[in-house]
Amino acid sequence: MEILFGTINKICDLIIAPFSWGSAVFNIIVISFFCALFLLFLFKRISNQKKIKLHQKKILGYFLDIGIYRDQFARTLINQVYILKHIIIYLRYVFAPLLIMMLPVIIVCMQIESRLGYLPIQMNKSFIIHAALDDEITQNMESLIPKVHCKTSSGIVLETPPLRVASDGSVFWRARLTGTGPQFIQAGIDSIENDIKKKITTVNNQEGFSPKSTKSNSFDYFLNSAEAPIPPGSIFKYLSVKYLPATYPFFFWNISPVVYFFILSVGFGLVIKPFMKVNI
């Protein structure tokens, strides 16, 4: 899984590189346009366009028939049965291609979330660090919790002593960014080697970063795959940083980049669809 997501991240880096000079909103617009173009092309290639168009016309025809002969109850009832029949057949031809299209959509959403979904840590701003032990690896949680420590790069200062929660194997710190340049945090356990390290993003350069560094064999890594995972044999389950979620202006609202992407993709799709002669 690590190799797969690493390859996807590198490919996306190459695709996004020509547009890295633009603002976040500009990049969302560009990604939405090309994604809509690609998805329409993909749907047209993998779907039975003739059958979809045929059943669309039949559904429309029966609806018109109901409007014309609405005073004939029996005929209206039969038309409704035919409409339901053709809707089911239509969905059968549409469902499989849409299911296939979900994979690239999920990948794009993950990339947008990791690159534009969070705000970098700002200078002189505080943030929360959370280290969690893996209860599947260690059975003596209560004895290890007091030994958990956190080290930081020179531009990060720990503002509070650790808050230890032995019941769920968690340790929290409040830290503050005081310096520029690449920063990191490092969690470990006294007398045990193999500390885990996580970078702290402080610059909005649209490179992928994740709030949580976790193991590659966990579901959390599927949601936080922008950074390298921690070793599968580590005593730690994950190491996370509390980034603030990013929102972007859309008319009178501020919405998340993923919602922004969905709205624009649907809009672009509706505009481009007639030119590409795609039946959906």
Please report, for the chain, the start and end positions of each structural domain, with discontinuous segments joined by +: 2-117+254-276, 120-244
Checking if the pLDDT of 234 tops 80, the result is yes
191-224 CB burial, b ≥16 within 10 A, e <16: eeeebbebbbbbeeebebbbbbbbbbebebbeeb
In terms of average pLDDT, the best of 3-12, 61-70, 258-267 is 258-267
Percentage of the chain modeled with pLDDT above 70: 99
Q: Which tens digit of pLDDT belongs to each residue from 190-233? A: 877 778 999 999 988 778 889 999 988 777 888 888 888 888 88
**Residue linked to tokens 């959509």:** 105
pLDDT of 8 higher than 90: no
DSSP 8-state assignment for residue 160: S
Quick one: pLDDT at residue 216?
A: 83
- Quote the tokens at residue 246: 């990013």
Condensed to tens digits (0 to 9), the pLDDT of residues 122-168 reads 999 999 999 999 887 777 778 888 999 999 999 999 999 999 998 88
Average pLDDT over the chain, rounded to whole? 89
Tokens of 38: 């690609």
* pLDDT, average across residues 250-261: 91
Which amino acid is it at 125?
Answer: K
Task: Report the phi/psi class of residue 84: left, alpha or beta, with left for phi > 0 and alpha for psi in -120 to 50.
Answer: alpha
The predicted model gives 53-62 an average pLDDT of 91
User: Would you state the pLDDT for residue 60?
Assistant: 92
What's the pLDDT score for residue 227?
86
Separation CA 251–CA 25 (nearest Å): 12
Instruction: Give me the CATH code for the 120-244 domain, please.
Output: 2.60.40.10
CA-wise closest residue to 26 among 136, 144, 116, 147: 116
pLDDT at 12: 80
Is beta strand 148-152 parallel, antiparallel or unpaired with respect to 253-255?
A: unpaired
* C-alpha to C-alpha distance for 160 and 155, rounded to whole angstroms: 16
* Distance from C-alpha of 262 to C-alpha of 248, rounded to nearest angstrom: 14
